[in-house]
Amino acid sequence: MTDPVVIVGGGQAGVQLCLSLRKSKFDGPIVMYSAEADAPYHRPPLSKSFLLDKIGEDKLPMRPESFYPAKSVALHLNQAVTSIDLDARQVLSGNDRQPYSWLLMATGAAPRQLPVDGAELSGVHCLRSLDDSRAIKARLNEVDSLVVIGAGFIGLEVAAAARSLGKNVTVFDTADRVMARAVAPAISQWYQDMHLQSGVSLRLGEAISSIGGNNGQVTHVNCADGEVLDAQMVVVGIGVIPDAGLAEAAGLHCDNGVVVDEFCRTSDPFVFAAGDCANHPNPFAAVDRLRLESIQNATDQARVAAANIAALASGGAAESSSLTSYKAVPWFWSDQGEHSLQMAGLSFDADEYVMRGESTANSFSMYHYRSGKLLAVDSVNMPRDHMLARKLIEAGVSPGAEQAGDSAFDLKALLPSKA
Amino acid sequence: MPKITYVDADGTEHPVDAKTGVSLMETAIANNIDGIEAECGGSCMCATCHCFIEGDWSAKLPAMESEEDEMLGFAAEERRDSSRLSCQIKVTDDMEGMVVHLPAEQN
Ligand SMILES: Cc1cc2nc3c(=O)[nH]c(=O)nc-3n(C[C@H](O)[C@H](O)[C@H](O)COP(=O)(O)OP(=O)(O)OC[C@H]3O[C@@H](n4cnc5c(N)ncnc54)[C@H](O)[C@@H]3O)c2cc1C
Ligand code: FES
């Protein structure tokens, strides 16, 4: 019997690999290890509807328990892989040795820790896992104010959720605008206005120097300018670090994550990587390689890895030319308050922004261009613009600035007609 | 607990006892029906939970919100009059006997 396909990490990419392998009629055994006690679940609601109790824990699992046996996937929960022997093609989990035919590294990422005194106090939270979200939810019930460090997606989602629960919320970020790394300035401005209007206090361009406490419990934050601000709870959302320690220790080439080629293959031909941990070449990026942290990226890379593992397993893909490469348009979303932000493409160093619709009308999009080429579109409450942007960017079609800026112009007409 | 039947693109039928109040997407996932992918987990962001509602049922369902309408225009398989996003429809008692067809491709 052939050795199983082994997956390290029971998250978005891991589950998708199972789904896609079975869809492509791969019928060999699959073994999945997860360091967590909870079976794979959806992370996006953890900073959104779950915090607000709009959905309960029963809605979080990606697939029901019965899915794993039904798909012949041996799911090992609460069991971290501790080392990998590339030569023997085995993973080790404690004393258990598990041989593999192909291996997927789908270890995700871990929250970046705030490098200040007091970050270890009780009441200082980060948000990556269901356990983190449970803890935040429980604490939110007991406090009436919180400080959020980091005005990125997760920080702002938590801020908006806490505000709608009636909490006093203060958000700090060293950047001078919210979501500065990800969206156009006009989008940042619109979101700042929205959060201010809802009563969130934004402290942009400001750092905190330490977190203070009493009896191990957080009580305040010390701002860099000397101000002391009461804080019954702190949520830190300052980005993530790829979980690549295991891969690195095994000898896989790592550099800001596990380095993969366009086929999602690592430096070892029997090992693939997908999702937040994978540093990959991306045809939509202006840089040679990067990591993306999104459902889209984890899902689509797992699809690519599955196609390639299935092809290799059937002996049908000795040549690279018959492998599938990763070329899906990046997209992402964030729900803050009642508003839906959707992003398509990658908005590196745009040199021109065009607005479609009116920001005062609460539904509009920003088109990012570089040298006349459409790079990305950020849409606020405009799902149609977003879906269209995904198609335009995929097809490499760049509407002229006047066309993008004219809401009466039908951008769909620019798409090549379906064959 | 109405009985709802999902039909794969190849004609395979999956009759299920659906729970009221749960979406048609969640019902399919809970029953390990593969024709629904639901990449975004029901956030109306991915259109990989596309389905076709058979016959008169289509007209009896609550009308769609504009978001669902917009997303459907970009589903992997061409939209039809009977197209819906299954994550946006909650099961109700009067759906007894409803038949839901699934497309061959969701992405
Ligand atoms: C609160 C929150 C909100 C988000 N919202 C959105 C959103 O709105 N839209 C969007 O597109 N994306 C969102 N994301 C990002 C998205 O969830 C991630 O990009 C996605 O989950 C990445 O999938 P993954 O499989 O790479 O990693 P993960 O889903 O993180 O899974 C990795 C798993 O591997 C496990 N693991 C690590 N090391 C080992 C080991 N040695 N042995 C065994 N198991 C191991 C981890 O414990 C984890 O369970 C959000 C993320 C968070 C945390
Ligand atoms: S599950 Fe994504 S749109 Fe329905």
pLDDT tens per residue, range A284-342: 998 999 999 999 999 999 999 999 999 999 886 666 778 999 999 999 999 999 999 99
Q: Which ligand is nearest to the CA of A296?
A: 1
Q: Is residue A346, in this structure, part of any structural domain at all?
A: yes
Structural domain range at position A46: 5-110+240-322
Q: Is residue B107, in this structure, part of any structural domain at all?
A: no
Q: Is residue B16, in this structure, part of any structural domain at all?
A: yes
Q: Is residue A328, in this structure, part of any structural domain at all?
A: no
Are A120 and A106 found together in one domain? no
pTM for the whole structure: 0.96
**pLDDT-derived band at A419, boundaries 50, 70, 90:** very low
Are A127 and A209 found together in one domain? yes
CA distance B6 to chain A (A): 17
| Three-class DSSP category at A385 | helix
Query: What is the Cα–Cα distance from A198 to A63, expressed in whole angstroms?
Result: 36
Question: Is the minimum CB–CB distance between B83 and chain A shorter than 8 Å?
Answer: no
How confident is the model at residue A318, as a pLDDT?
Answer: 61
A169: phi then psi, degrees, rounded to nearest 5: -125, 130
> Alpha helix (H) ranges present in A152-252?
153-164, 185-197, 245-250
Q: Is residue A139, in this structure, part of any structural domain at all?
A: yes
Angle of CA points A112, A253, A9, to nearest 5°: 55
Q: Which atom of ligand 2 is nearest to the CA of B37?
A: 1
Mutation site for B-interface testing, chosen from A295, A342, A385 by largest number of B Cβ within 10 Å: A295
> Alpha helix (H) ranges present in A200-260?
245-250
Instruction: Among B45, B66, B84, name the best residue to mutate to test ligand 2's pocket (greatest count of ligand atoms within 8 A of Cβ).
Output: B45
CATH of the domain at A39: 3.50.50.60
Tokens of B49: 């939970």
**B70: nearest CA in chain A?**
A384
As for how many domains chain A has, the answer is 3
Exposure b/e, A338-359, CB count within 10 A at least 16 = b:
eebbbbbbbbeebeebbbbbeb
* pLDDT tens, residue by residue, A341-359: 999 999 888 999 999 998 8
Are A195 and A221 found together in one domain? yes
CA distance A67 to chain B (A): 6
Are A206 and A260 found together in one domain? no
Q: Is residue A332, in this structure, part of any structural domain at all?
A: no
Q: Is residue A364, in this structure, part of any structural domain at all?
A: yes
Q: Is residue A331, in this structure, part of any structural domain at all?
A: no
CATH of the domain at B27: 3.10.20.30
Question: Is the minimum CB–CB distance between B41 and chain A shorter than 8 Å?
Answer: yes
Are A318 and A344 found together in one domain? no
Are A32 and A124 found together in one domain? no
Boundary-marking domain end, from A288, A322, A356:
A322
Q: Which ligand is nearest to the CA of A59?
A: 2
Are A52 and A195 found together in one domain? no
Are A254 and A228 found together in one domain? no
- The pLDDT > 90 percentage for chain A reads 93
Mean pLDDT score of chain A, rounded to an integer? 95
**B29: nearest CA in chain A?**
A63
Boundary-marking domain end, from A215, A236, A257:
A236
Judge: B41–A387 Cβ closer than 8 Å, yes or no: no
Are A14 and A89 found together in one domain? yes
> Alpha helix (H) ranges present in A47-152?
67-70, 130-140
As for how many domains chain B has, the answer is 1
Reported ipTM: the value is 0.91
Are A162 and A105 found together in one domain? no
- Whole-number Å distance, alpha carbon A328 to ligand 2 midpoint, is 18
Look at the alpha carbons of A379, A149, A185, A393 in this order and tell me if their dihedral is positive or negative: negative
Boundary-marking domain end, from A236, A271, A300:
A236
Sequence letter at residue A290: L
Largest CA distance in chain A: 68
Are A308 and A352 found together in one domain? no
Are A88 and A162 found together in one domain? no
- The pLDDT > 90 percentage for chain B reads 91
Structural domain range at position B50: 3-101
* pLDDT tens, residue by residue, B6-57: 999 999 999 999 999 999 999 999 999 999 999 999 999 999 999 999 999 9
Residues of A in contact with B26 (CB under 8 A): 59
